[in-house]
Amino acid sequence: MSTQGPARSFPTHKIHIFCFEFPPYPGPRKVVVDGKVYSGDHVLIAVGGFPTWPDLPGADLGIDSDGFFELDRLPKKAVVVGAGYIAVEMAGILQSLGSQVSLMIRKERVSLPHLDRI
């Protein structure tokens, strides 16, 4: 399996970062990268994702989370669409910076597992 980007280490925190596609899953607390099995007490597989755009008038005026980092100024008001981690994080960041934020979701609550533990 080839890595998609450089493997990096943060030895003082015992964190290793590998970028790859569709890793085989050999079992709990393990992952395979370039044929080598890595294990640890805590293993995070961040699968990544891409935003989807609704087929609505004005949707082309919106930005995604990458566009957030390209903003020249803080908006006075913002609408964040989505119920996942990135949408909730963006809404929280904008709110903490002073924007009036509305979070638009399809269901009665956001889609964050373990939210009831917080």
The CATH classification of domain 59-117, taken from the options 3.50.50.60, 3.40.50.1110, 1.10.10.10, 3.80.10.10: 3.50.50.60
pLDDT, residue 36, reads 82
- Residue 77 token pair: 């008001």
Q: Is 70 exceeded by the pLDDT of residue 108?
A: yes
pLDDT, residue 21, reads 57
Phi/psi at 63 (5° precision) = -130, 160
If one counts every other C-beta atom within 10 angstroms of the C-beta of residue 95, the result is 14
Residue 2's pLDDT band (cuts 50, 70, 90): very low
Give the residue, 9 or 37, on which the prediction is more confident. 37
- Residues present in the chain in total: 118
Place of tokens 């964050």: 112
If one counts every other C-beta atom within 10 angstroms of the C-beta of residue 19, the result is 13
| Strand boundaries in the chain, DSSP class E | 8-10, 15-17, 30-33, 36-39, 77-81, 100-104
Query: pLDDT tens, 30-78?
Result: 877 777 888 888 777 666 677 888 888 988 889 988 888 899 999 999 9
pLDDT, residue 118, reads 52
Mean pLDDT (the chain) is 76
Domains of the chain: which residue ranges? 1-48, 59-117
CB 38 within 8 A of CB 16: yes
pLDDT, residue 11, reads 54
CB 23 within 8 A of CB 32: yes
